[in-house]
Amino acid sequence: MIAALSFYAFAAVLIASAVMVVASRNPVHSVLFLILAFFNAAALFLLAGAEFLAMILVIVYVGAVAVLFLFVVMMLDIDFVQLREGFQRYAPVGAIIGGILLLELLMVLSVSRLAPDAPPLLSPTPTGVTNAEAIGRILYTDYIYLFQASGLILLVAMIGAIVLTLRERPGTRRQNIAEQVARSGSVNLRSVPTGAGLKEIGILRPPSPEEEAPKQVEHHGGHH
């Protein structure tokens, strides 16, 4: 009873927030509704007993992907009036594309069947092992090549993104920490007796070779 009630509650919020992602006028609100949708999807996973997937969904999508998404959307300078201008013009095209997608989805769902060896996998916790272990056993044995290949694709995508955005501008100053740390002689620590001035302990900076020796300036007490 409680499980069914919470299923309908989460499902209703999920659908409502998914609608709001599209309907909301402010893109930042859209992303926040998207996050709410992710959350409710995770809750549905939890209700189905797939706790590992639920947590991974929250960590990956809500904790990382959506943060970056929000980050980008917040920085956009959007003119809301201009955004709504093209609605009438693009509505028919959008409706057609949406209709095609819906049709395709219905076709796929109506003819799709479960693979013959799938039913034992349907139970979230097959034989008393935890969820994470069950996924691990399948992922790292039967599907290891696919798993590795998807990892490789992600790596290539990542390197691609870095290559596209990395540019070496000449003349920019960079800090090389290793070089700074390795540099010796210019920085050293001393214990300074209390009340002693720079002259008394003899750490006046030597005059630099380019400029002539600095003029001796009279200091009347005080500090600089």
Residue 20 touches another protein, criterion: CB under 8 A: no
Q: Which parts of 155-184 interact with another protein (CB under 8 A)? A: 175, 177
Min dist CB 56 to another protein, Å, is 7
With CB under 8 A as the contact rule, which of the stretches 67-75, 84-92, 142-150, 155-163 interacts with another protein? 67-75
| Region from 59-67, 82-90, 94-102, 212-220 binding another protein, contact rule CB under 8 A | 59-67
134: Cβ contacts below 8 Å, ≥ 6 apart? 124, 125, 126
In whole angstroms, how close is the CB of 11 to another protein at the nearest point?
A: 21
Binding of residue 152 to another protein (CB under 8 A)? no
Minimum CB distance to another protein smaller for 49 or for 160: 49
Segment near another protein (CB under 8 A), from 17-25, 65-73, 77-85, 212-220?
65-73
CB of 63 to another protein, least distance (A): 3
d(CA 114, CA 1): 28
Q: Is 99 helix (H, G, I), strand (E, B) or coil?
A: helix
Binding site for another protein (CB under 8 A): 2, 28, 32, 35, 51-52, 55-56, 58-59, 62-64, 67-68, 70-71, 74-75, 130-132, 175, 177
